[in-house]
């Protein structure tokens, strides 16, 4: 059984999807051992407490740079003996110590079909605003491994969502979460915990 550490900064609906997936059996090969937030105000911390999961806060305000934040984060992950890290709306940049210590063990959910609308500056509503401004008819979500490049690691799962004529960035964000993120993030978490993914260059193969 793998120990999962979920890193959050906000509302935590993706965290909730992972916690629910553990209860409904979608996630069998891992259990959430701790939730770490970069903000003390994140509602995700309440969700963790309600589920009886240890909730920690490492606030960005207390660390002057990426390197010192990274060290504090690594120490916390080691304290809980975390095997697999899930970034679920985590708004801090990971430093190289954590990335190296957890190579191919960190996954992130991004609310677009990468390589569209991703990379530096594309987070939250901005992603959906950009998709609407470009006029694409289909968007979606991607779960990928995390490396040094923002949203640049190998893709594990993607799910498409149609854009409707009446969509605003807000309605699109909600639908992408419900119809894509909350489904593929627990699925990908299980695949990684069960050692069912094989990385070949940029291509991830799912073992049966």
Instruction: Give the catalytic positions in this structure.
Output: 110
Alpha-carbon distances, residue 58 vs 38, 78, 93 (angstroms) = 5, 14, 13
H/E stretch holding 176 reads helix 169-176
Closest CA to 81 of 108, 57, 54: 54
12 or 153: CB nearest ligand GRF: 12
Shortest approach of ligand GRF to residue 12 CB, angstroms? 5
Binding residues for ligand GRF, rule: CB under 6 A, are 8, 10-14, 44, 88-89, 109-111, 177, 181
14 or 187: CB nearest ligand GRF: 14
Q: Helices 43-50 and 13-24: crossing angle, nearest 10°?
A: 20
Shortest approach of ligand GRF to residue 107 CB, angstroms? 11
The residue assigned the tokens 């990335």 is 99
Q: Helices 13-24 and 182-193: crossing angle, nearest 10°?
A: 60
Shortest approach of ligand GRF to residue 173 CB, angstroms? 6
33 or 88: CB nearest ligand GRF: 88
């Amino acid at each position: 059984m793998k120990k999962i550490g979920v890193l959050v900064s906000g509302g935590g609906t993706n965290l909730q999807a992972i916690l629910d997936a553990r209860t409904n059996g979608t996630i069998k090969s891992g259990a959430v051992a701790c939730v770490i937030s970069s903000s003390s105000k994140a509602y995700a911390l309440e969700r963790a407490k309600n589920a009886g999961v240890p909730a920690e806060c490492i606030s960005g305000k207390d660390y002057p740079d990426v390197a010192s934040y990274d060290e504090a984060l690594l120490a916390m992950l080691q304290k809980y003996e975390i095997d697999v890290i899930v970034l679920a709306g985590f708004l801090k940049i990971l430093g190289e110590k954590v990335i190296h210590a957890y190579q191919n063990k960190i996954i992130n959910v991004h609310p677009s079909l990468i390589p569209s609308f991703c990379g530096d500056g594309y987070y939250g509503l901005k992603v959906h605003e950009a998709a609407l401004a470009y006029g694409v008819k289909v968007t979606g979500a991607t779960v990928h491994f995390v490396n040094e490049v923002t949203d640049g690691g190998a893709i594990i799962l993607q799910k498409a969502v149609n854009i409707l004529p009446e969509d605003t960035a807000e309605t699109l964000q909600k639908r992408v979460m419900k119809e894509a993120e909350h489904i593929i993030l627990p699925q990908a978490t299980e695949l990684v915990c069960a050692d069912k993914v094989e990385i070949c260059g940029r291509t991830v193969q799912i073992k049966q």
